[in-house]
Amino acid sequence: MEIKDSVVVVTGGASGIGRAMARRFAADGASTVVVADLDADGAAAVADEIGGRAEALDVTDETAQIALIERTEADCGPIELWCGNAGVASNGGLELDNAAWDFNWQVNVMANVITGRHMVPRWIERESGHFLITASAAGLLTNLGTAPYAVTKHGAVALAEWIAITHGESGVRVSCLCPQGVRTPMTEADGEMAIEVVKAMGMIEPEEVADCVAAGLAADDFLILPHPEVSRYEQRRTGDRERWLAGMRKLQATLPG
């Protein structure tokens, strides 16, 4: 897709990957970049910096998403790109209570379902539109130490695939962003296994992710991999799952947390 002169929405845009994408889209000539985040002050700071538009948004609130869509399209024009980038992670496994699992499910999966429910019909009618879902390498592989994150990011990848298959012939383009370790507020903690595993695999900066996103969108790529080695890991996983599981258990044994 062509970013120049497009109306773009970035959720989770107040920091990390979302902020880097918003900056990149503005630099690439988007007509409007809507920076949406639960952190209203953070969204406003990014929007002020890039000359964009700030929106306080809880992505799990369907009424709020609908209002943002209608407000943006009335004031700025048709939304050509929606980046479903807001995400959360709860460290832990099966012992975590249902509230923790539901929180991850609502933000990492259902927020994108809500977006698709209300944006995909518009894109089909216009025969144009692009949905970028930020999943994770965890959605193609796994993430040690955080079961809800690994499971729901698999769900995010599956949702992106389903939309691409079901609506790809109707003018709806879909990209699934699957980075590995990125230096963001989510990866700042020490000692948690989920954080230590991504640090062990190598960290990159959010701006590098934004560069990969820009290139992937320009090429209309479905899978955007800022860490190219993730493709090789996924092939190993599917090619010999028993060996991959054994290797992941060995890696887990070397990590704290």
Please tell me the least confidently modeled range out of 62-76, 137-151, 181-195, 218-232.
181-195
Dist CA 233 CA 92 (whole Å): 23
pLDDT digits (tens, 9 = 90+) for 159-178: 999 999 999 999 999 999 99
Q: Among 20, 15, 229, which residue's Cα sits nearest to residue 140?
A: 229
Residue 187 pLDDT: 61
Instruction: Give the CA distances from residue 14 to residues 30, 33, 35, in Å, rounded to whole numbers and listed in that order.
Output: 18, 12, 7
The residue written with tokens 């609130």 in the block is: 61
The CATH code for residues 7-253 is 3.40.50.720
Global model pTM greater than 0.85: yes
Contacts of 44 (CB under 8 A, 6+ apart): 35, 54
Dist CA 209 CA 203 (whole Å): 11
Please state the domain extents for the chain.
Answer: 7-253
- Residues serving a catalytic function are 149
pLDDT digits (tens, 9 = 90+) for 96-141: 999 999 999 999 999 999 999 999 999 999 999 999 999 999 999 9
Confidence band of 95 (pLDDT split at 50, 70, 90): very high
Dist CA 78 CA 130 (whole Å): 12
Confidence band of 197 (pLDDT split at 50, 70, 90): low
